[in-house]
Structure 1
């Protein structure tokens, strides 16, 4: 379990915005896909990490479980654990530009709405709209 958590942290730290997967679900570098003419879909790495952790029995989308886990950690360590981090993610101009470029590709397929895409990448709808106008 300890290794799985370390791996999840490493995956989230090394992810540059989101990862790219082929139609058969294999992860691929965006530049490699572009040079080979392979179609890819952007995927929020958080979702992949959550899937792995849930498969191992850690339901991180379950608020009750998280509250109980935080309470257990607090009781065992004697430290108070915050239930939710208020730190917001800040995107650089290059990340915003990359995301807007990915939206153009996704929009061309007509398979997703702006709102669904914004949720998938983890930003608010209005924030995403502002990036598109920007």
Structure 2
């Protein structure tokens, strides 16, 4: 899957906007095809990338699938809730208290800065400072 994604990125970053394929469907550079006298067909790399990704089960033109994939990435990386990117997360008073208590343990160990801790839990630095003051 990783190789497929890397290949998709390379194809999409081509400067001339197209990839070229032979009659057999193999990719070839335009200058090489011209030098060898091979007929090619220009193909929009976006269309080809979408076909390849969908064949591998990645439906990136399906907004619901993309939202679910983003939620999964967010939850796995710990960079927020599964409510979606860009949405604010509300914390209850008990959650805030637990976070402040956890910070006290981290602070005692001297392992992180307040800013790093706030980033790790997905809270703005100033919001975290306000919680510490209250």
Query: Scaled by the length of structure 1, what TM-score is found?
Result: 0.48
User: Which is greater in Rg?
Assistant: 2
Query: Scaled by the length of structure 2, what TM-score is found?
Result: 0.48
